[in-house]
Chains A and B, each alone.
Chain A
């Protein structure tokens, strides 16, 4: 066990320790002769940086929207797929597909093939519909400019809905059938069955899906980077750190940003899990 434990610590914890160390160092790759101990300068820069503040807000907004909407859509799809109908297997496979697309490819697809105002599918469809009615002047909204954050969110929702659907579908299929039968015999309506049997049973699955979804969406980089290049107020935390690291080559400040993000995430996660979730609480009471 000990070698395994040592290995685990080396590959998971040491890099973080190194990051913490670097966050106290004045280290810009492009100024090789100006390296040294910076004390809290990097952290000061992080906390006074307006870009960082707006990135935090953007990240929260993006994550909450994407997770909640995909959860609701995923629940709807899972309930539909829980019924028996011909071709169910095929439909399920097709619904899962978006989650299997490489994130960068998906983002490129949304940017060019769908959203693009002059040659994207959405505006092309509008043109076609308007043509049917003999109008040569269809509306050509520019989605990524008018609502850039929503454009990123929609692309992410498309990708994450199947993930939520899978987890909830697993939950639905483990529902005890006899309880539903009994409720039906007692004259419960479909809504009653959903409200008093299905939802309570699904609670842990919903929480798990939301938790996992949040962990992944908070870290999203591909969609922001590709669709809007972080412009028009869509720069989230990973994008901001990327910019500090790759554009400014400021390793010290990028590390400080990383440390701040990790600490904040841990605080929020612990607090959220303790107060909201039954996942941990029941473990503790047992």
Chain B
């Protein structure tokens, strides 16, 4: 996961969690030390560096868009507002860990943290976040209504209040080589089904020397393989859980979807599929090793960038479907404010700046339009400067995000929100374990039904705890 979150840009690969060679003791010790410090034994140390009324501590993930934000803060935010920002930047897993420790104890060490739409409803339900709706409504320049509806909704908790403001968002779609299809005399439907895509993949195998039909993720991880797989499961009519918490991982629909995914990869997928994640597929697509790629909309930015060999040769169509109207996922990194924070006003001013329209223009003008944290505002897709740079995929991206339905992603009601994940705390572990089994089916070490029978047992364990509630 650096998963990733489904789409990390540029440096997709996660750095490992710890720099040194530490073993179990070291880990456990570090854990405990951190836990002791954070669990409030040290409440006094919580707000170090907060002597001024206008310093806020921000905890965020180490994605490139955040690095740009950090670079621009002193000159374009602190100078104007007098609010100093201390950033703590961590890889995704470490971030989730530190965040859940600080927020669950309400230690107030961090005023603002970057959350995804996976954590936001969970944290909100636990009472760890400040609702932001009123501040957003009062701040007219922020223009809450400009935010794309699915993104806004995915950051709204069960109580109908908004708990986080998006920094950038993404969905998924199908990217394909227009030139390769044309030379092979094939056409891509405007709204393809998965069956059509599989047929195309078969015909495109070997269309160029060493080229495979399609690239799909096979690397284990709830933010790697589990994300595209779950979006395929949804549209095949499957689900992880029914509304009343029955696990359905080895149901006929889930099995058909997984078998389809695994067979497609084994027959016409990229080489080395069981270890191929977002980064590997991006490389394969850029090197001309695959003709199609179903993945995060963030991938398009890299494919169309100046140094890409396939820039201008790639077409974009919505995520393939079977039984649903759309199947693209939804992922967003957003800013949430810790309830215990004593700097609520300063925190909002920071969010209003970082997630505002002005910041997008600032990045475009200062760092380049390809670096704009897009995918969250309708106005981004009306900006002529942005469209000049991203015209090839801007409309496709916006439509993919706008048609995402995190509350109703499949053919049956769901117990928790989420398209490519199930919005419960246990999913990061469950999704990862299940993706290990499926990845091993892709490698041919076990059958799909074996993999899913094991997975069903894991899912039943999770479901049992919820069914009791």
Contacts and interface: CB of A to CB of B under 8 A. Distances in A.
Interface string A5-39: 00000000001101100100000111110000000
A227 B23 contact: no
Given A119-B284, A231-B440, A249-B425, A16 B16 contact: no
A61 interface: no
A128 interface: no
Given A118-B284, A245-B31, A258 B271 contact: no
B16 A249 contact: no
Contacts of B283: 112, 116, 118-119
B96 interface: yes
Interface residues of B, number: 63
**Residue of B22, B36, B209, B432 ringed by the most chain A CB atoms within 10 A:** B432
A161 interface: no
B126 interface: yes
A51 B273 CA distance: 23
Interface in A251-269: 251, 254-255, 257-259, 261-262, 265
B460 to A, nearest CB: 15
Contact of A229 (B33, B100, B219): B219
Contact of B29 (A19, A245, A250): A19
Contact of A29 (B101, B272, B289, B440): B101
B71 interface: no
Interface stretch (A173-181, A187-195, A218-226): A218-226
Interface in B211-235: 212, 219-222, 224
Chain A contact patch, size range:
35 or more
Contacts of A232: 274, 439-440, 443, 445
B273 A145 contact: yes
B15 A104 contact: yes
A22 B101 CA distance: 15
A230 interface: yes
A30 B122 contact: yes
Contacts of B271: 117-118, 123, 140, 142
A238 B209 CA distance: 41
A251 B33 contact: no
A229 B224 contact: yes
Given A241-B28, A258-B27, 17 more contacts: A18-B36, A19-B31, A29-B100, A29-B101, A30-B122, A30-B425, A108-B13, A117-B271, A136-B209, A145-B274, A222-B21, A229-B224, A229-B277, A243-B432, A249-B100, A255-B32, A265-B24
